[in-house]
Structure 1
Amino acid sequence: MKNFFIITFFLCCYQFSQAQLFTGDQVLNNENFDQQRWSWGYFLGFNSYDFNFDYKDYNPSPVTGQDFRVERRIGFNVGLVGNLKLNNNLDLRLEPGVSFNSRGFQAVRADANTFREINSTYVHIPLLLKFSANRLNNFKPFVVGGLSTSINLSSNENSPDDNSVGQFRMKTNTYYYELGFGIDLYLYYFKLTPSIRGVFAINDELVRDENPNSIYTGNVDKMTSRAIFINFTFQ
């Protein structure tokens, strides 16, 4: 499913760029859009979250090559965009939004009872720098990068229960760095921006179980989220 969305993203961008480069239509849509100091919009999109583990004593399963199995699923993003033009090729963007996601998690060295369903609702707030090429007809490619923070409303950080009673706990506050790219498409009535971005957590998110020998947390030195966002921004 994740590969389907990535392929669809590239096909849409390719078809639009081909039409702009190799047809005789040179009419510029929204010709003065980029002259605005401030611009606003909203985005809709998809996400896929995963976990990355650092171990105290790395001794993975000889069968799977890992201690944990993470089942990635497709989630949903929605949010707002505030864009400040710094110069013709550089913008500062604030993109507060909400991301909904679920992940399956299992310790592979134990039986099926170790499976945990991790449902997450993140209030995600990135501050990004957008570096754009010069506009060509009705499209403009760009790369983007920056820092972000999120509040996990489903973290269960303060729950007294842990994995021994089926409750997986994570930290509420997480910090990330983000890198991505996309294309601004200037349509007749608005600007559409498909983009793809990698999101990588910096701080440890795991809340340890009370049992120091827990199969879920005992051997984990650090657990961080990583994600792919595919967003469609309308301005």
Structure 2
Amino acid sequence: MKKLFLLLALCLFAQHMNAQLFSKERLANLETFDNRFLTWGYFLGFNQYDFKFEYANQNTDLDTDIEVESQLGFNVGLIGDMRINRYMNLRLEPGIYFTQRNLIFPGFEEELDYFREVKSTYIHVPLLLKVSTKRLNNIKPFVVVGMSRSINLGSNEKNPEDNNEGQFRMTRGTNYFELGFGIDLYLFYFKFTPSIRGVFATSDELVRDDDPNSPWTSNIDQMSTRGIFLNFTFQ
């Protein structure tokens, strides 16, 4: 499903860019939009979160690694954009991100032991620097880079039960580095912006089991989130 969304988005980009770059009629929409100091909007999109595991005792046998099954999630949020100059903007994009990851731990026979369903609802707040090219007719490509902070409402961090009772626990707060790109499309009534962004956690998110020799967490040196966001912005 994720590949289908990406393919449809790329087809729309290509079609619109072809019309803007090679059409003889080049009417500019929203000519003064980028002169505003502050602009507002909202976004809808999709996400796919993953985990990166680092182990205390490295083993080249893949059968000993924890398997992560990522699922497609949904995100929605608001945008506040502040103009710095013609090519740079500072953006705040608070949003709510719903996602699920399934973990399969090696070495167990019963599903109750080897399978963990990790559902997360993130309040995600990134502060991004947007660097754009010169506007070409009604399109303007850009890249974004920044830092973010999220609160995981489903973290189970304070839950006294751990994997021995079937509860997988994560830290409630996480910091990230973000990098992405997109294209501003200036339509007749509003600016539409499809973008794709990668997020990379900068801290360990695992809350370990109470037993220091736990078969679930004792060999994990660090667990950190990685993710891809596909957002559609309306301003």
Smaller-chain TM-score bracket: over 0.9
1:39 aligns with 2:39: yes
Residue 12 of structure 1 and its aligned partner are, at CA, apart by 1.3
Q: One-letter code of the match for 2:214? A: S
SS at match of 1:87: coil
Partners of 1:101 and 1:200 lie apart in 2 by 16
Show the counterpart of 1:91.
89
The offset of 1:228, in angstroms, is 0.1
Q: Alpha-carbon deviation of 1:65?
A: 5.2
Q: TM-score, normalised on structure 2? A: 0.97
Q: How does 1:82-231 map to 2 (within 5 A)?
A: 82-111=80-109, 112-113=111-112, 114-231=114-231
1:103–1:141: structure 2 CA closer, same or farther, 3 Å change rule?
A: same
Quick check: 2:205–2:224 contact (8 Å CA) kept in 1? Answer: yes
User: Where in structure 2 are there 5+ consecutive unaligned residues?
Assistant: none
- 1:87 maps to a residue whose letter is N
Q: Which residue of 1 aligns with 2:25?
A: 25
CA distances 1:56-82 after superposition (whole Å, capped 9, x unpaired)? 10125x3x4551010000000100000
The answer to whether the Cα contact below 8 Å between 2:84 and 2:90 also exists between their aligned partners in 1 is: yes
Q: Secondary structure at the match of 1:59?
A: coil
Q: Which amino acid aligns with 1:133?
A: T
The answer for unaligned runs of 5 or more in structure 1 is none
Give the conservation status (yes or no) of the 8 Å contact 1:67–1:109: no
Superposition TM-score, scaled by structure 1 size: 0.97
Q: Is the 8 A contact 1:181 1:196 kept in 2?
A: yes
Residue equivalent to 1:3: 3
The residue type paired with residue 99 of structure 1 is Y
Answer yes or no: is the 8 Å Cα contact 2:64–2:107 preserved in 1: no
Runs (4 or more) in structure 1 with deviation over 4 Å come to none
Q: Distance in 1 between matches of 2:167 and 2:5?
A: 32
How many angstroms apart in 1 are the aligned matches of 2:9 and 2:107? 38
Q: Is the contact between residue 63 and residue 106 of structure 2 (CA under 8 Å) also seen in structure 1?
A: no
Secondary structure of 2:209's partner?
coil
Q: CA RMSD in A?
A: 1.0
Find the aligned partners of 1:161 and 1:11 in 2 and give their Cα distance: 48
- Output the CA distance in 1 between the equivalents of 2:64 and 2:8: 31
- Contact 2:51 2:226 survives alignment (8 Å): yes
Size of the aligned set, in residue pairs, is: 233
Q: Percent same amino acid at aligned positions? A: 55
